[in-house]
Amino acid sequence: MKLSQLIARGAAVVAAVATIACSSEQPKEEGDNIPTTPINEMAYSPEATTFELWAPTADSVVVRLYDGDTLAEEVAMTAAEDGLWRAQVEGDKRGMYYAFQVTIDGKALKETAGIFARALDTNGNRGAIIDLERTNPEDWNEDCAPSIPATETVIYEMHYRDMTAHASAGVAHPGKYLGMAERGTRSTEGLATGLDHLVELGVTHIHLLPTADFGSIDESRPTDQYNWGYEPKNYNAPEGTYATRVDDPEARIRELKTLVKAMHDAGLCVVLDVVYNHTTATENCGFELTVPGYFYRMREDGTFADGSGCGNETASEKPMMRKYMVESLEYWVKEYHIDGFRFDLMAIHDIETMNLIRERLEALNPNILLYGEGWAAATPLYDEDKLAFKRYTYRMPGIAAFSDDIRNALRGTLDLSEGGFIFGVEGNKEALKFGIVGGVEHPEVDHTEEAWCAAPTQHISYITCHDDHNLRDRLEHLAPEATEAERLKMAKLGHFGVFTSQGIPFIFCGEEMYRTKLGEKNTYNLPDKYNAIDWSLKSTYNDLVEYVKGLIALRKAHPAFSLGTAEAVRNHLTFIENDNAAAVGFVLHDLEGIDTAESIVVLMNGERESVVFDIPAGTYKWVADGDAIFVKGIGRYDAPHGKIEVAPCSGVILIAQ
């Protein structure tokens, strides 16, 4: 079935979601008791603090106030409409902590900070009573993100600690929010590090690994541990690990806002990696400590479904979970000025919820960037055709998915059994072409998988991310006999494939300077020895850094590399026939009104010998080869007979004169 037919089949679903999205009221199912207004579990004023908790199955609920670790007051909450319990405590309680305790069928559950806590104590077991206005850095109300449409987006994925923990980063606050907010930081060799490096590189969006509070690290001794943070505990408050004062609930909020503002001031947008598909251990999570069994998908025997591979999977299709996800994301946009979200294991969430999220967030920011992993770790316990799998991306306009098609085609599959196109391996040509057109239907692409994007901006083009081996370690494992110079050419060709594709390009932190994780595949909890970026690599491999910078600059200079619509891709991108199994070429043509160039020729040779391509006869400006990229041109190339020889393992870009 063609994508156009699939889109028509899904149109009714999208239209129905759009109707729901226009209302603040969430859809209800029989038996659900859902508040129609946003829930605010703790609302502070100097005169009084009010509390509310959604616990429709509770017999009773109390809220306890703590002065430090000392219980100061216990207040019985009163049942209200729509499953809410409410209480009000008179007086100025700022600086105190609170916890709810729910009793069901005569059994008191463990205390919890609730599910909407916005400020926390150390390790997030209790909420903190704060005045959010006091967490705003100077000029926060004037903070303004750059307006960057999807067609101009270049994503850089990073972990706070990876970027700043190594002594060579030269930051005053290594591993912290404030460390990434610093300007003017330099390596021992005098080259820009941290935030200045990101600006210098030319990327537009900074993808921050999980930032909401997670349960993997004891925040009272954060420097002793490392974790990516894919174990969410409290979704609406920042993780304390990255704060300079873990015992100050306001500090972590203020410091994260300081980082966001610093990035906005530097011309960068901020994307948060969010993990709504599963939680930390259920016995420690507010979901299970307020309404047991509701927020998760449960098997008939009462055990937790595990499509996440992490012990549980959440149930986005349930009205309160859907409402929770939408309001949580809206809160991050409103309170922290976040510009986009990456959804971990997005296929566990249902399509209706994802489309509702898009509608609600676009109302706050028309340029909101939304993308995620179009797969699950195991089979989710829900109807497959209702879930946000990659193959249904066309049913979620404005939401993108990671393309394992172009990833695997370029570098090889996850199991390291065989390399891909950049290794000269046959059998990857059509998958690479599919990635080049941005995952949309194209008459010259004969990929085994149906086109899954309605627009190329739904296709995240990448070669590595935080998961799996990074590029250098993969190259060293699969090409041990190659010289380092040869492996660097392969790395350049891989980046070349990503940045010349029609999708949204994505790069993992440190790949531009040939970082290594010492051969480790999964470094989610390994120490800085494996994860921290040694900034001396930027000097050692500055040629690669400059190559990636050149690719980004070239993409920005030529809008033809990001045409934006499937129709434009089909009209303006034509492949060049070539019999070699690891050689691909294409022409971007008829670009009047799109680009300053008349046409652009892009050639990729993954073979270990030179390949001759047939190209349109004419005179060209040579802007890229396997070694260097110059937006203004390396030199001139005359092709009166329409032929060009491309060196082994390299890419060439020619612009018609």
The question of whether 484 is a catalytic residue gets the answer no
Burial level of 640, CB count in 10 A (0-12/13-18/19+)? exposed
Distance (Å, rounded) from C-alpha 94 to C-alpha 74? 16
Show contacts of 423-429: CB within 8 Å, 24+ apart: 423/478, 423/479, 423/490, 423/606, 424/582, 424/606, 424/607, 424/608, 424/649, 425/582, 425/606, 426/581, 426/582, 427/581, 428/582, 428/606, 429/581, 429/582, 429/584
Burial level of 302, CB count in 10 A (0-12/13-18/19+)? exposed
The tally of CA atoms less than 13 A away on the side-chain side of residue 387 is: 22
Distance (Å, rounded) from C-alpha 407 to C-alpha 465? 10
First to last CA, the chain: 41
Q: CB atoms < 10 A from the CB of 483, how many?
A: 9
The question of whether 111 is a catalytic residue gets the answer no
Distance (Å, rounded) from C-alpha 108 to C-alpha 292? 12
Catalytic residue among 182, 239, 344, 405: 344
Q: Are 278 and 325 in contact (CB under 8 A)?
A: no
Burial level of 76, CB count in 10 A (0-12/13-18/19+)? exposed
Buried b (16+ CB within 10 A) or exposed e, 231-268: bbbbbbbbbbbbbeebebbbbbbbbbbbbbbbbbbeeb
Q: Residue for token digits 């603090």?
A: 49
Residues 6+ apart with CB under 8 A from 126: 66, 97, 98, 99, 111, 113, 120
For residue 35, the one-letter residue type is: P
The greatest distance separating any two alpha carbons of the chain, rounded to the nearest whole angstrom, comes to 88
Instruction: Report the candidate in 177, 176, 175, 197 with the shortest Cα–Cα distance to residue 185.
Output: 197
Catalytic residue among 231, 327, 359, 373: 373
Residues known to be catalytic: 344, 373
